[in-house]
Amino acid sequence: MARLKVAVLISGRGSNLAALIDACATPEFPAEIALVLSNRADAAGLAHATRAAIPTCVIAHRDFASRAAFDAALDGALARAGIELVCLAGFMRLLGDAFVTRWRDRLVNIHPSLLPAFPGLDTHARALAAGVRVAGCTVHFVRPTMDEGPIIVQAAVPVLPDDDTDRLAARVLAVEHRAYPLALRLIAEGRVRVEDERVAIAGAAAGATALLNPSGIAASRASLTAAEPQLFVTDITASCDFFTGKLGFGVAFRYGDPPFYAQVHRDGARLNLRHVDTPVVDHARARQEDLLSAAIPVDDVARLFQEFQAAGVPFHQPLRTEPWGARTFIVADPDGNLLLFAGAA
Ligand code: GRF
């Protein structure tokens, strides 16, 4: 099977690029990333491409006297690499009409809102200010007007009462990482057609296919989107250091001097740390019988496992697929509390 040759254009962090690289690493995925292009030499995301042995190219907009000359340089690099589809992923330069027209229906973008709501910058702050109950992201074909064009895939997430822009952005970003690979797959499978500036998707249940609708949205009953387990720890400071240093959590608060209560959080997961003088769990038995202290649902469990591996996290159980289909791994904290991370296969 010939795989669709894709270029990804970035300007910064490149987490969407990383999600696309992961998707393309699956042998049966119908697209391959043949080039990663950035207008900034210091874009952190370039490292994802280098790690995956994907050719990179930096075309600095400052080196060009006009937008047209910059666009022409981009176009030349894309043509030389034989690119068939261009994915903008946090690419912070406006492309000129001529470029957009030349790549019409072969140029896609991801935007962190449910377009046509909140195009442009400061998306999450404006969504919160408007008091919307639902946020999300959109993958769309690019047209000359910014953040406008036929919608391919959208993913929705709830806006929660105590959201700030960081929390909302993190929740939306997590679904961006599913929506972009889905859109790329649909395009690469030849299922996406633009008709009267609307996208039609061929195949069964196409409408549902192009809408990622995580639990909590449009549910017929209330759904629990997060849990706040209590962990008993003998040293609040050491425990906070472990969660922040190894697991990428932040400290929400620490109380007492010396501290006897704290809360650490990452995205929707909040863990309450309660000081105890002596361990309350029989750790030998906990390990022997997999007695869990917390179960934390994750949208991309394999990626989290890789992140933790890179951080040198001690695993009680490495990543595995359970007989019922979920993928799980278990981390032991410094007090021997077993934390299960679980996601869809
Ligand atoms: C994403 O939120 C994307 O929707 C927007 O820019 C951000 C890029 O993030 N267009 P990353 O560089 O992919 O991490």
pLDDT of residue 21: 96
Q: What is the pLDDT of residues 1-14, one digit of tens each?
A: 699 999 999 999 99
**Residue 306 confidence (pLDDT) above 60:** yes
Q: What is the pLDDT of residues 80-104, one digit of tens each?
A: 999 999 999 999 999 999 999 999 9
The pTM (predicted TM-score) of the whole model is 0.66
| Ranges assigned E (strand) in the chain | 4-10, 31-38, 56-58, 85-88, 107-111, 134-141, 151-158, 192-195, 198-201, 211-212, 230-233, 250-255, 261-266, 269-275, 292-297, 315-321, 327-332, 338-343
In the structure, what pLDDT confidence band is assigned to residue 218 with cuts at 50, 70 and 90?
very low
pLDDT of residue 214: 59
pLDDT of residue 198: 96
* Ligand 1 pocket mutation, candidates 15, 88, 113, criterion most atoms within 8 A of CB: 15
**Residue 78 confidence (pLDDT) above 90:** yes
pLDDT of residue 226: 67
Is residue 171 within 6 Å of ligand 1 at its C-beta?
no
Token reading at 275: 């000081």
**Residue 208 confidence (pLDDT) above 70:** no
- Please give the distance, rounded to the nearest whole angstrom, from the Cα atom of residue 264 to the centre of ligand 1: 25
Nearest-CA residue for atom 9 of ligand 1: 90
| Ranges assigned E (strand) in 100-243 | 107-111, 134-141, 151-158, 192-195, 198-201, 211-212, 230-233
Whether 265 sits among the annotated catalytic residues: the reply is no
Distance (Å) of CA 170 to CA 45, 101, 113, 156, 158: 17, 33, 12, 13, 12
pLDDT of residue 92: 95
Of the two residues 224 and 221, the one the predictor is more confident about is 224
